[in-house]
Chain A
Amino acid sequence: QVHLVQSGAEVKKPGASVKVSCKASGYTFTSYYMHWARQAPGQGLEWMGIINPSGVATSYAQKFQGRVTLTRDTSTSTVYMDLSSLRSEDTAMYYCARGFGRAVAGIDHWGQGTLVTVSS
């Protein structure tokens, strides 16, 4: 059974960075992509980026270019999303989601979400 378990809620000050983890289990970690998306309070879903199974290639939404970094650790089956230069508008629930198929991968399973609050 596929499980994606994310790290706990974070409170950060403007200008700081946050690193959210997503630990995968129940499948062959290196055979699937991992997406990240976020949802501001009361708003819709926003795609941030994807890391491929080899962990070498990633693709990011233009909006987050230069601020977001996706990495993975195959020894622990964990993917990390690092977002820097935080501002109040980054307050949101952040989700990891397993990607399947081709490079522009579909999504089949989601993590439970991690709330990141940016406040002075």
Chain B
Amino acid sequence: DIQMTQSPSSLSASVGDRVTITCRASQGISKYLAWFQQKPGKAPKSLIYDASGLQSGVPSKFSGSGSGTDFTLTISSLQPEDFATYYCQQYNSFPITFGQGTRLEIK
């Protein structure tokens, strides 16, 4: 199975900050990397597909990059509604696997 490792596991930031979350795959996954946002008590929401594609309706403050084994999610100009847990996911091969999550908290 492909292991997905996110860093950091948690992150404190202020409103207006720009933050970057990293996801590393244990083997190459080409561009098949997605990012999801999850708020407490809610279902995940899809943000990014194919490493850098923005899902419909997702604001351009969210951006993704990378290929192969190293990927990043960047969120610019943090707003209160952006504080949540973020997960990466690989869909290069079965079984599909998720990162452990990065909790983004207000400083």
* Chain A interfacial positions (CB closer than 8 Å to B): 35, 37, 44-47, 50, 59, 61-62, 95, 97, 104-113
Contacts and interface: CB of A to CB of B under 8 A. Distances in A.
Interface of B: 1, 32, 34, 36, 38, 43-46, 49-50, 55-56, 87, 89, 91-101
Contact of A110 (B46, B95, B97, B101): B46
B44 A44 contact: no
Contacts, number: 60
A61 B44 contact: no
Contacts of B36: 45, 107
10 nearest A-B pairs in the assembled complex, by CB-CB distance: A47-B96, A110-B43, A61-B95, A45-B98, A106-B49, A44-B101, A104-B91, A59-B94, A108-B46, A113-B43
A115 B94 CA distance: 25
Interface secondary structure of A, over-half rule: strand
B98 A46 contact: yes
B46 A47 contact: no
A108 B55 contact: yes
